[in-house]
Structure 1
Amino acid sequence: MFIRFRSILGVFYIAISLFSFSVTADEKEDKEVEEPATKENVLVIVGDVVGELSLFEESSTASRLGLSSLETPATVETITSDVMRARGYQKLSDAIESLPGVVTGEHPTAPSTFSIRGFTRGQVTVLRDGLWIGPSTMVMRPQNTFNLEKIEVLRGPSSVVNGIGAVAGTVNAITRTAKQTDTNLVETLVSYGEFNSHHLGVNASGKMGEKSWYNVSVSDYGSDGYVDRTDLSSTNLNASGLWHINENLGIKFSVDHLEDDVGSYFGTPLVPISVARDPLTSAVTTERGETLDGATRFNNYNVEDAVAESEQTFWRLDFDWQLADNMRLQNTTYSFDAEREWLNAEGYVYCTQVVGTCTEIGTVQRYYGYFMLDHEQDLIGNRTTLNIDSQFGDMDNRFVIGAETISVDFERARGFRRSAPQVPGDAVDLYDVVPGVYGPRELRGISPTEIDTLAIFAENALQVNDDFNLVAALRYDEMDLDRKNFNASGELEANGFSREYDWTSWRLGAVYNIADKSMIYAQYSDAKDPINSNIFLVNNNQDFDLTSAKQWEVGMKSIWMDGNAETTISYFDIQRDDIFERFSLDSATNVGGRESNGIEISLTMTPSENWRFGANASYTNAEFLGSANFETLAGNTPPNVAEVTANTWLSYNNFAELPLEIGFEWHHVGDRYGDNANTVKLKSYALFDIFAAWKADNYRISFRVDNAFDEEYVPWSDVFYLHQDSPGFIYANQLMLGAPRTYRLSLETNF
């Protein structure tokens, strides 16, 4: 097994040995190599930093060469903890949706999913501290920003760096971690807001000994939710310890534990416009003459004993060894264990006629919408990289080679309401909901899936001259997949399968310095993936070959106005063939290909000591492509892709010569379609948020109002909950409404 992998790996390591032997330390005598984890942990009082694009920051998400955003031939965005807290972002999705062209979804079935560059859901990879822990649509959770150091976003196909599923981009949530510092610091957060929402956090960091440091973060979030009986909660603990054995070798141990409940609000039923007491036609319309009823905006149609909980633990051990002035070896060994429990009446259909399970016109039927699900996931992985800095003639060269192994054991048990007799409690009144309870559980089956992946990768950056830099990357993957399906009686079904995949991804780019701190760049990337990154839904009749994604991108990045302004602009074009879309809770269907192109612009500036301003905008043109076997959706716009998005934020410090900061943020998302057939239109919306903050040396008190004008809108659509209401299977026809106007008061301290 993996003969080709071993052969290629051997060739790579022989090349490394020969290459490193030819590179001498005196070639790099004028170069400084950073020792492991040397940055200080310094707190900036919330509000002091707003809107930086972090173009000088290194991004491990975009490259393992230590390149800054300016040096990288791709769109790379970094949102630091200071920016997140200054703008009041409590969840990862709050921060991501402030970026150009990003639309976010918070449906409980796939929390914190994104639309980027015309692609959605599993085609956007989400990493935890740079590591893949599973398909984002199955493992992603709403993440508290308090525990995060920063969020990095790399746009476009990036499987050459980050592996499976990275077609539209990669979102990397990076937690706070132990760092070398001489300062002991404790930070706290206490926040309370509407709907009994609270957010508490404590972070402690500092020195344990002469050569050891620590960081511990704990946060707790809870809310009744803006919809009745939603009851969201999240508790996150991450801790790490760093030990410098000597000046060249560092060891870090980390643990990240999360327990959460994503809530029980699954949507509001679509109803005929003629029936609605308060038709929200400014938020959604359908070709069937439906909309949402504002009179049901805060109703929850789920059962009283709904469950949507998870518990997960992420362990990792890092070694960082400076072998020589020009050579650095790093290794990360990690494990991820998760259990998720699911029991909900999550599908609702407003009955317009007596047919199938609809026994009374005007009621909301839930009979086929009962769904139970249990996940048991165990993952073990290891990544090793070797960085070598050298001279190629008179040119500086940076090179990294690495290997990665991941083994996943994922058991998915699920059940649907099928044979239990229908009872009156399965239907509820549209306006006066009596939730009832889930009732008898029916197990459909259990699907254990094992995935073993091995990969090798290499990157190189050649500084041709002071103004011109060439960057290339190559990755080879092999994956063994074994999928079994057992029925409720434990008998093996015939629709499982086993298969071996192998594929190569690559990227080539160039960066040219047109002026001081102003760069233009271009890149071409080619990626291969299994046909559906959420491989846990694919059965033997969907056992297709690899799918291909290609992108070319050009852009400019600039720092100007004496460093007080930053600008980025990019144009992209992506094509992907043979895409699977999820059409139901338990299956995916081939919908042909997809292409997108567009432009993204970002600007931040500090025009004076007190004023801070930022803005971004995007235009995206995306459509489905036909294939030899599927033409139905060709030419349609994929769901949740907005043609136009825009964001603006402005703040003023020392208002009225007081330690008072005031500001606002405006977030616009254009029209989108809610379904693949383009029969459901989600109307454009704009949210206006305002805040005021009183600041001192070691504390900040802030008051914030989100959605100040109480906009009624639909932020996201899950296609398998729309128009699934044929007479033989009346399952779901609903959408989730966004949060109304809310407020919160926060106190942040450091000492």
Structure 2
Amino acid sequence: MRPTTRWMSGLSLLSLALGLSAPAAAETDTNDDDNIVVTGERLPILSEESPTGSRLGLSILETPATVNVVTGDDIRARGDIGIVEAVSRAAGVTNAGAPGNGGLTFAVRGFSGQGSVLQLYDGVRLYPNNGSITFPSDPWNVERIDVLSGPASVLFGQGALGGVVNVIPKAPNRDRFELQAEAGYGSQETWHMAAGAGGPLGDMFAFRVDASYRQSDGYVDRGESDNLALSTALEFAPSDTFSVTLRNDFGDANPMKYFGTPLIDGKLDTSIRKENYNVGDARMHYRDNRTALKIDWQISDAVSVTNTAYYITSNRKWRNLESYADAGNGLIARADNIGIVHDVDQYGSQGNVTLSSDFGGGMSNDVLVGYDVNYFKLNYSHQFGSLPQQDKVPLTGFDPGRFLDTVGLLPRYHTDTFTWAIYAEDRLALTDRISLIGAIRHEENKIGRWDWVYTDGRITGDKPALNGGADAHKTFTATTWRVGAVYQPVENVSLYAQYATAVDPLGTLTTYSGSASQFELSFADGYQYEAGVKGLFMGGKGSFTLAGYRLVKKNLFTQEVTGGPIEQVGQRSSQGIEATIDLTLPAGFGFSANGTVLDANFDEFGGNVGNTPSGVPEEAANIELRWSDGAAISARANLRYVGSRWGDNANTVKVPSYTVVDFGASYAFGHNLALDLRLLNAFDKDYAWSTNGASQWILGRPRSVDVTLRAGF
């Protein structure tokens, strides 16, 4: 879809949402609860259920694990324009995204990448291929984002050793019609339009529709980007105990074709921070669509059933010159012309049955038994075999040139991955203060890979690509479990401890390579000890969490001798502390802070023993101070700190720490209209938001001003 067409589509859907909801808004009485100003009053999140921490409907206080929540209201109030920006506000989460992995990658508790930090959308896992996930692309329709830190394979399957990020979208509202809309403009010719509407449709139906379109010229040369996101949901609820929800979510993104800024003499040269060394006709395009049908049935007070069936498609394309290095004499050496296409289909179903029993005397039990079935298919194309593109260009004032491709983006192989799993979770409340929680999961993954065969430039068949070409399939199984205990010495305070196991795929499971098929273990297994305390105080106006942990991952790939055989013997570990605090203070003030300090290293990994894994900062923190007069004016200041990290496992290139400060203020023109002013990166810090190789840094947005007009009914 061309930018003009995408702009018109976003505008049309925005108008449709306004048109659908305006009459209903006129019929609805407005009261003080509808005020668009964020007043600083915050719900006690620890008392809310977390579908990410447990499938048993436990609150965060009742869960023996660390669960942090980033609310959609906070995301929009801060002006976070992407999922990565929003998620990295949570305790212990930092960005590890790069263009090659789709930009949606995180580091949690010393582990990074989509093979160790699992991503969910509305509770359904998104399988990465070649380390790439590109959905969701916009936070406008987000209700909340849950981050479960530490192993979660027992709940969601392989690939969740470091943690889980669950993006939960807005759902249909049965109670009242509502409308939100905003339009904004800012630095770098950045602008966006978004709208959302929802409410009842008669006695048994409710709907939700959201649309967002963003466009920017970017903060580097040829840094244009645009993004269209559409979400719709329709709920059928003939009774209070039964509902069926059909939803579809679509994203179409052309991100900035910027692969980073090369270091000069081993340092960042700020005089070239706006240069883009990619070719002039570079391309990155992601199109994702997700359709899901969810059934919730409360059969009785003791028995409930839920099931979600889904179908997800992704199409991604890259054509870029990706690597740049200082060649001396005022020149940059460019290389690696890489063109790739991912054509992905993922569909499956997951469901469970919950049985609750009350034994009296404060003793009760909740047990859940469920299943998970998933099929993932990938067609992978690339232009490898084309002539290598290498040249040197001046630091500034150069002709970017064009992408060199002499063979075309041809289909190279296709894979299929079939996964089935059964799992169970149980909570035994011994008293109203003491509970035990346990879970177990067994899963089987059958992976197949075939390489396309060409004759005279035409596909004439395919051949098995695993087990030396004798068989296209390989099957791997894993059983993981966890056990924990929660003790509440007083109301609203919990002490907990947990032991959990997990498995990560070696590489990306869905694109399992022939070179890895020699290993009997497809998974690196791990475990974690964790203990902590969390609670509410000041009548729910204050909350805190504190957790300590040790996390170990074993059976990594390593090469003990240069040029020697690859062995599965490595081990890495991390241990650390995470803490959060949130306060609603007198006179309209509020304060939030979170932080982590950890020690991550390779225990066994060839010549890197004792080193810190690349891309893992060992300190990180977020601080927010907010104020509102309770009527028309609100303001906030945010600080994000990310400690230094290494650009490579050999620890030869250090990426320095950074601190970024943002300011925001809002003025409400009555109950339904407000103007926001934001100053982002107020002190114009030049910093590496991420890296693309040890000496190629992806810089963050410079000082920027954004203005947004918001409406709500």
Using the size of structure 2 for normalisation, the TM-score is 0.88
Q: Which residue of 2 is the match for residue 536 of structure 1?
A: 511
Contact 1:303–1:345 (8 Å) recurs in 2: yes
How far off is 1:439 after superposition? 2.9
Q: How does 1:568-717 map to 2 (within 5 A)?
A: 568-579=545-556, 592-626=570-604, 630-654=605-629, 659-695=632-668, 696-717=670-691
Q: Which residue of 2 is the match for residue 295 of structure 1?
A: 271
Q: Which residue of 1 is the match for residue 146 of structure 2?
A: 152
Match for residue 119 of structure 1 among 111, 120, 126: 111
In 1: Cα distance, 2:198 partner to 2:625 partner: 32
1:464 aligns to 2:430 (yes or no): yes
Query: What amino acid does structure 2 have at the position aligned with 1:604?
Result: D
1:513 aligns to 2:475 (yes or no): no
1:403 aligns to 2:386 (yes or no): no
Contact 2:134–2:286 (8 Å) recurs in 1: no
Q: Which residue of 2 is the match for residue 285 of structure 1?
A: none
- Equivalent position SS for 1:55: helix
Match for residue 393 of structure 2 among 395, 408, 428: 428
Cα 1:341–1:713 shift into 2, 3 Å: same
Q: Which residue of 1 is the match for residue 23 of structure 2?
A: none
1:446 aligns to 2:412 (yes or no): yes
How far off is 1:541 after superposition? 4.1
RMSD: 2.2
In 2: Cα distance, 1:662 partner to 1:391 partner: 48
In 1: Cα distance, 2:570 partner to 2:679 partner: 43
Q: Which residue of 1 is the match for residue 16 of structure 2?
A: none
Query: What amino acid does structure 2 have at the position aligned with 1:293?
Result: D
Q: Which residue of 1 is the match for residue 255 of structure 2?
A: 262
How far off is 1:116 after superposition? 0.7
In 1: Cα distance, 2:437 partner to 2:508 partner: 27
- Equivalent position SS for 1:612: strand
Q: Which residue of 2 is the match for residue 82 of structure 1?
A: 73
How far off is 1:464 after superposition? 0.6
For structure 1, the residue ranges without an aligned partner over 5 or more in a row are 1-41, 273-289, 353-360, 583-587, 723-732
Cα 1:207–1:658 shift into 2, 3 Å: closer
Q: Which residue of 2 is the match for residue 328 of structure 1?
A: 304
Contact 1:101–1:620 (8 Å) recurs in 2: no
How far off is 1:369 after superposition? 1.3
Q: Which residue of 1 is the match for residue 466 of structure 2?
A: 496
Cα 1:541–1:507 shift into 2, 3 Å: closer
Contact 2:37–2:634 (8 Å) recurs in 1: no
How far off is 1:414 after superposition? 1.7
In 1: Cα distance, 2:662 partner to 2:243 partner: 44
Contact 1:511–1:520 (8 Å) recurs in 2: yes
Match for residue 306 of structure 1 among 256, 261, 282: 282
| 1:119-144 CA-partner distances (Å, limit 9, x unpaired) | 00121011111111212831234631
Q: How does 1:38-57 map to 2 (within 5 A)?
A: 45-49=36-40, 54-57=45-48
| 1:55-98 CA-partner distances (Å, limit 9, x unpaired) | 01111111110001000000001111112122222222122222
1:236 aligns to 2:204 (yes or no): no
Q: Which residue of 2 is the match for residue 747 of structure 1?
A: 709
Q: How does 1:721-736 map to 2 (within 5 A)?
A: 721-722=693-694, 733-736=695-698
Cα 1:50–1:349 shift into 2, 3 Å: farther
How far off is 1:535 after superposition? 4.2
Cα 1:749–1:47 shift into 2, 3 Å: same
How far off is 1:46 after superposition? 4.9
In 1: Cα distance, 2:218 partner to 2:488 partner: 50
In 1: Cα distance, 2:646 partner to 2:414 partner: 35
| 1:544-597 CA-partner distances (Å, limit 9, x unpaired) | 203211001000011001111000000011000123599xxxxx9968221000
In 1: Cα distance, 2:342 partner to 2:607 partner: 34
| 1:636-681 CA-partner distances (Å, limit 9, x unpaired) | 1011222221221111212xx9722222111111111111110011
Q: Which residue of 1 is the match for residue 206 of structure 2?
A: 213
Contact 2:40–2:626 (8 Å) recurs in 1: no
In 2: Cα distance, 1:658 partner to 1:50 partner: 13
Cα 1:78–1:336 shift into 2, 3 Å: same
Q: Which residue of 2 is the match for residue 550 of structure 1?
A: 527
How far off is 1:493 after superposition? 6.5
| 1:348-382 CA-partner distances (Å, limit 9, x unpaired) | 22324xxxxxxxx543232x411000011011111
In 2: Cα distance, 1:100 partner to 1:581 partner: 31
Q: In the comparison of the two structures, how many residue pairs are matched?
A: 658
In 2: Cα distance, 1:568 partner to 1:502 partner: 35
Q: Which residue of 1 is the match for residue 215 of structure 2?
A: 222
- Equivalent position SS for 1:70: coil
Contact 1:363–1:427 (8 Å) recurs in 2: yes
Contact 2:39–2:634 (8 Å) recurs in 1: no
In 2: Cα distance, 1:581 partner to 1:293 partner: 35
- Equivalent position SS for 1:109: helix
Cα 1:568–1:429 shift into 2, 3 Å: same
How far off is 1:317 after superposition? 0.8
